[in-house]
Each structure stands twice: as C-alpha cells, then as structure tokens.
Amino acid sequence: MGTDFLPVSKADMKKRGWDEYDFLLITGDAYVDHPSFGTAIIGRVLEAEGYRVAVMPQPDWKKASAFAALGRPRLGVLVNAGNLDSMVAHYTVAKKRRGEDAYSPGGRAGLRPDHAVTVYGNRVREAFGGIPLIIGGLEASLRRFAHYDYWDDKVRRSVLFDAQADLLIYGMGEYAVREIASRLRAGTPVSEIRDVRGTCFAAKDAGESAYPMVECPSFEEVSSDLRAYARANMLQYDEHDPVRGKAVLQRHGNRFLIVNPPAMPLSTEELDVVAELPYVREPHPMYDALGGVPGIEEVRFSVTHNRGCFGACNFCSLAFHQGRIVTSRSHESVLREATSLTGHPGFKGYIHDVGGPTANFRRPACKKQMKAGLCRDRACLSPEACPNLECDHTDFLMLLRKLRAIPRVKKVFIRSGIRFDFMMRDPNGEFFAELVQHHISGQLKVAPEHCADGVLDYMGKPHHAIYEKFRQKYERLNQKYGKNQFLVPYLMSSHPGCTIGDAVKLAEWLNQTGRQPEQVQDFYPTPGTLSTCMYYTGLDPRTMRPVYVPKDPQEKAMQRALLQWKRPEKRRLVQEALRMAHREDLIGFQKRCLIRPEHQSSWKPVGGGTGKNNGKTAGKNTRQTGSEARKPAQGANRRGKKASAKKTSR
C-alpha cells in the first residue's frame, strides 16, 4: 500500500517541491485512492510514467475560477464524471432526486452537476482556453455516440461535442491515456493525435480516420428516425471489438465524429502492474470530518481479479465499456493484494469479495476470440450456450483455495456476479461444491431477472429452465453440507418485451417457490445499451422487429407491485393488474392465488381509471413520451452500482 495521496492543493504540490505539474485530473467523485475507482487508476498510471498529476475532486462547477485553483497544468486536463454516469448517480428510474451519493463525502448528494462531463468540460474551457482537454470514464464512454437520454427524453449529441473536448477516451483507458500523454509530452499538438485506439475525435473530413471505417446514421437521422437509431445502435455494438472492429463514423452537422476501434484488453502482466500501483486504498483524509466516503466500504477488503464480461446482458453497460473479452490477473498478484489486506488495522479476517464484472470468468469464452474477435450474430451464453464455450472453473478454484490458506484469513466470500448458467455448463462439480461450502456469506445473489423465456430473450439472458436446474442443485448441495444459505434472485420489472401477463407469470413463479423479494428493480434505460434502444425505438435492433415497451407509469407500477404482492399497500395495484391480465383466477383462497377477494363494491381501479380497458394496453406498443414516461418505480441501485466501484469504471 502507498502512503501518499496525489496532490489536491497547492500546499500539497509545495510539499513535493513542485512549481508546476503536468496533468489536472477532475472527477465528479470524492477522491478515493483505491483501484476500484477509475480516477485513482488513471492518476497512478500517469504517475508511474513519470508525470506530475494533481487531482481536483468535485469542484464548484458554477464558477470557472474554481477550476483554476491549482494553476494551469503543463500538458492537459483529464475529466470524468466519476464511477457512475452522473444522471444515474442523481436520479432514480422514476426521475426523482436521490437523497444520497455513496461516492461523495458523508454520502451527501448534489456535489456534482447533472451531465457532469459536459459541465466540467465547459468550465475547463472558460478557465484554460485552448488547453488539451480529454474526457473519459463511464459517462463519456457510454455517451460517445449520439444517444438517447432517458432523463431529457431525447437524443443528445456525442458528449465529445457538448463538452468541447479534444479527445474522448472510452473503455478502461490505461493504454490510451499513456499514449496521449506521451505524445503531448513530445510536443505533438492534440489536434494531430488521431490514431489512438479507444479514443474518439471530431473531424472536418471523414478521411482523417487512420483505420478502416464504417459509417452509421448521423445525429440528425437518429434524432428523427427510430429505425435509423436502431440500425446505428446495432452497428456501434457490433464494431465494439478490439480484434475485428472498425472505426465508426457518425456525422454531426458539418462535422464528423470518428470513433477509433477499441484498445486491446490489458494482458495479465499489464493488469497485474495496474492493480499493484501504490494506492493508499482509502479516501483522502480531508473527508474524515465529513463522515468519510461510503463507497469505500463495499470494496475496502475486496479484490478484483478480472475484467470484461461475455455474458452480454442487453440492459448492462459493461459490454459497451469494458468489452466482452475477459482478462484476469495472475494468482501471484491477487495473493499479494489479499495478503496486504491482512495488515490493514480494520481487517477482521474476511475478504468480502473476489470478483469483478462476473466473478467466475477467468479467461475468454473460447480460443478464437483473441484471434478472430467475438461473433457478430450470437451471444456466448444466451439463449443457449455456444458449443465453443470453454467452461472450466479449475483456475478460479485453485485461486480461491490459495486465498483461503493465507494466514489471518478466516473466510473468502464471492459476492459480485456469479453466472449460474456458466456454472451449470461446467461438467466438473468441484467449484459449485466449494462455493457452497466456503464462499457464501449467508446468501448467494444471482440474476435470473425473469421467468418468461420471451422476456429473457429480449434481456439477453438464459432461459428459465437453466435457473431452475441451478436452484435445485444449490438446494441439494446446501442440504448435503449442512448449510442454511439462501438464494437471492435479482428480478427486473418492465423490461422491453415484458407485458402485464409476463409480470403475472413471474409473480406466480415467486408464489410457487415461496419467495417474496424485498427489492425489485425497474428497468432503467442507461445510454448505449441494446435494451435502451428497444425502450426508445420500440424495435429490437438485432432483428428490427417491433417489441412491446411498458412505459405507462400505471402499468409499470402494477408490474412492480406484482412482484411484491403480499404487501398490503400493493393490494390495489395487484388487483388491478390481475383484472387487466384477465387473471381473476389468482384472486381467491387457494394456495396458488396471490390475493384474497374483497367485496366488489369496494373495488376501484387505482389511478382513477374505469376498469373497462383490462388487458388492452398490454398488447399495444404505443411509444409514450413526456409526462407519461416520467414516473416508473425506483430500482436503479443494483445495475447502476454494478458499473461502478467493482467494475473500475473510468
């Protein structure tokens, strides 16, 4: 572990004997010097290359003078919104302001602006004029193309233009930021840096691309034509491949956005180096009196061992940010980090997580991915696993055994994203058995998301029968080893393709299995994902066929209520949903029923309706906008946080 934070003030720079510095790193998060925070990684990567880096966390965005507080950097300014998109950090899926922010001191909300990358970029231009400005992180990465913004309910330009940036780094960023910094130090004008993988830039001429190129529909087209938007989204997704991907051009007025192909994933050796840079692994002490930074608690005693995810859930931003090719750290590197945790004064013997985007992925899905790239026309795991999928947990199992043997380590838990469908493909049952015996802290969280196969196809998830087989095996193993460990399924309501009838089916399944989820997640349309494209366009971009999209806030509330049908306050919504779906057979006294009947004269439809249109809205795909789309129920925490600390989003 390191002992010194990067400078955050002129006094800090003076202590280091600096009269100038090279890069100013501005972030919408509090400054936490830990490898689960992208700002810390980028800062330490540049420091390791010999650059002087100062960090400016959560500056006052209302005045440009705050951005000049440390003086003008010699080479450039780097800007990110933090570990989350700032709009996800600020708003629930119902577009209501959140009361807390885990990445701010004391959990206080409101310390970063909406659309933080854009606001910060504009303040930098006011403070420093034409200085090289490079934006990155999750917000910039997911908004690199013209994109539908759920909160504005419109298509916005690439954030590169709105932030007035010279370059946008997308993806994990280490390769690109080192290359850009090296060229700036050598005196290359930022306007001439055009060939770095994993970057975007604006050009007057399409010929400025250094790579083979494809063109997607323009900003103007995707803003006015839903089919054009869907075509553009699918092309962008297909070309996001570091092996076979081409540069993508998108016109914005009289200029061209050129998105270079993604950078190759870091090798195991490179990932080891990044993970073991001299992080302090704590929030900056300036936050001590403010209550610290809550976001550190989930990751302080956790280890990230991999990157990337070939799970390819359509609602998840990982595929469009970290990519679908999995790379992992060496056993030796992970063991060194875990051993160092045992020396922390707060360590109680428990490693809280050994994970990443998906904990039980340690290598690419098949041998051909590193040579030929990922398949354009199919996913590795859904709706059924590809025959070429190499499913072997041996390496991960060996790593976990070594971690359990470290002195002072009592337990090693896995909490971040076990893929149950991948586990069920492994012919060797050792990993499953040892997971149950050693690595579950009372409950295992997995994500079946739904039980209706049609909905799961739109989600990009495996069919429900696979989850049922997993659940049954999990119960058998717990009985075998004398464990009383629960299985907690993550479930999602109102995803594109999910009708009120599908929601009733999910409620029936929960009732049959004796489960009542404490938390339910409404689908949250975040920039760039295929599911968000379905939500906005009413089209499945993979097939260009229409898809039903539940947008009416009343229907969304009913879908959500069905998953928590036992709660008294949900009764009216559940009753109305069952009548809409013509499933009054589930109102009664039988075990299969969801609610008991009440006197008909006392029933009134929730929301003041007449009750005469039962079931009609579930069969129509009418795109509703404005106030009709502004009140879905809250539930963004899991998916929003998932692209955050443990994923090292930059």
CA distance 53 to 33: 13
Residue 636 pLDDT greater than 60, yes or no? no
DSSP-assigned letter for residue 71: -
Residue 493's closest CA among 455, 457, 533?
455
Window from 83-92, 148-157, 447-456, 590-599 with minimum mean pLDDT: 590-599
Query: According to the model, what pLDDT value does residue 360 have?
Result: 95
pLDDT band at residue 190 using 50, 70 and 90 as cut-offs: very high
Query: According to the model, what pLDDT value does residue 433 have?
Result: 97
Note the Cα 174 to chain centre separation in Å.
19
Q: Mean pLDDT throughout 611-633?
A: 34
More confident residue, 634 or 260: 260
pLDDT band at residue 630 using 50, 70 and 90 as cut-offs: very low
> Please, where are the H alpha helices in 29-162?
38-48, 86-90, 116-128, 137-142, 159-162
Residue 206 pLDDT greater than 70, yes or no? yes
Q: Mean pLDDT throughout 63-89?
A: 97
Query: According to the model, what pLDDT value does residue 616 have?
Result: 36
CA distance 46 to 68: 21
Most confident of 217-221, 587-591, 646-650: 217-221
CA distance 506 to 467: 13
Query: According to the model, what pLDDT value does residue 605 have?
Result: 40
Edge-to-edge order in the sheet of strand 443-449: 443-449, 486-493, 521-522
Residue pair 101/109 in contact (Cβ under 8 Å)? The answer is yes
What H or E segment, with its residue span, contains residue 252?
strand 247-252
Query: According to the model, what pLDDT value does residue 602 have?
Result: 46
Q: Mean pLDDT throughout 565-590?
A: 95
Residue 58 pLDDT greater than 90, yes or no? yes
Give tens-digit pLDDT for 509-562. 999 998 888 778 999 999 999 999 999 999 999 999 999 999 999 999 999 999
Q: What is the mean pLDDT of the chain?
A: 91
Query: According to the model, what pLDDT value does residue 648 have?
Result: 37
Query: According to the model, what pLDDT value does residue 3 have?
Result: 75
Query: According to the model, what pLDDT value does residue 367 have?
Result: 87
Q: Mean pLDDT throughout 568-596?
A: 95
- 138 CB-near residues (< 8 Å, 6+ apart): 38, 80, 81, 82, 83, 84, 85, 317, 321, 643, 644, 649, 650
Give tens-digit pLDDT for 283-333. 999 999 999 999 999 999 999 999 999 988 999 988 888 889 999 999 999
CA angle (419 as vertex; 417, 425 as ends), nearest 5: 160
Residue 629 pLDDT greater than 50, yes or no? no
Output the pTM of the full model: 0.90
Residue pair 120/28 in contact (Cβ under 8 Å)? The answer is yes
Q: Is the dihedral of CA 648, 639, 620, 606 positive or negative?
A: negative
Query: According to the model, what pLDDT value does residue 598 have?
Result: 81
Give tens-digit pLDDT for 334-390. 999 999 999 999 999 999 999 999 999 999 999 888 889 888 888 898 888 899 999
Query: According to the model, what pLDDT value does residue 1 have?
Result: 63
Cis, peptide link before residue 278, omega less than 30° from 0 = no
Q: 350 exposed, middle or buried (CB, 10 Å; 0-12, 13-18, 19+)?
A: middle
Query: According to the model, what pLDDT value does residue 515 have?
Result: 84
Domains in the chain: ranges and CATH: 10-199 (3.40.50.280), 298-647 (3.80.30.20)
Amino acid at residue number 174:
E
pLDDT band at residue 642 using 50, 70 and 90 as cut-offs: very low
Query: According to the model, what pLDDT value does residue 643 have?
Result: 38
Residue 638 pLDDT greater than 60, yes or no? no
| Phi and psi angles of residue 339, each rounded to the nearest 5 degrees, phi first | -65, -40
DSSP-assigned letter for residue 42: H
Residue 63 pLDDT greater than 80, yes or no? yes
Note the Cα 152 to chain centre separation in Å.
20
Residue 244's closest CA among 201, 211, 207, 196?
211
CA distance 287 to 283: 7
Give tens-digit pLDDT for 380-436. 988 888 999 999 999 999 999 999 999 999 999 998 789 999 999 999 999 999 999
3-state secondary structure of 446: strand
Query: According to the model, what pLDDT value does residue 143 have?
Result: 98
Q: What percent of the chain has pLDDT over 70?
A: 92
Query: According to the model, what pLDDT value does residue 378 have?
Result: 81
Window from 73-77, 94-98, 232-236, 599-603 with minimum mean pLDDT: 599-603
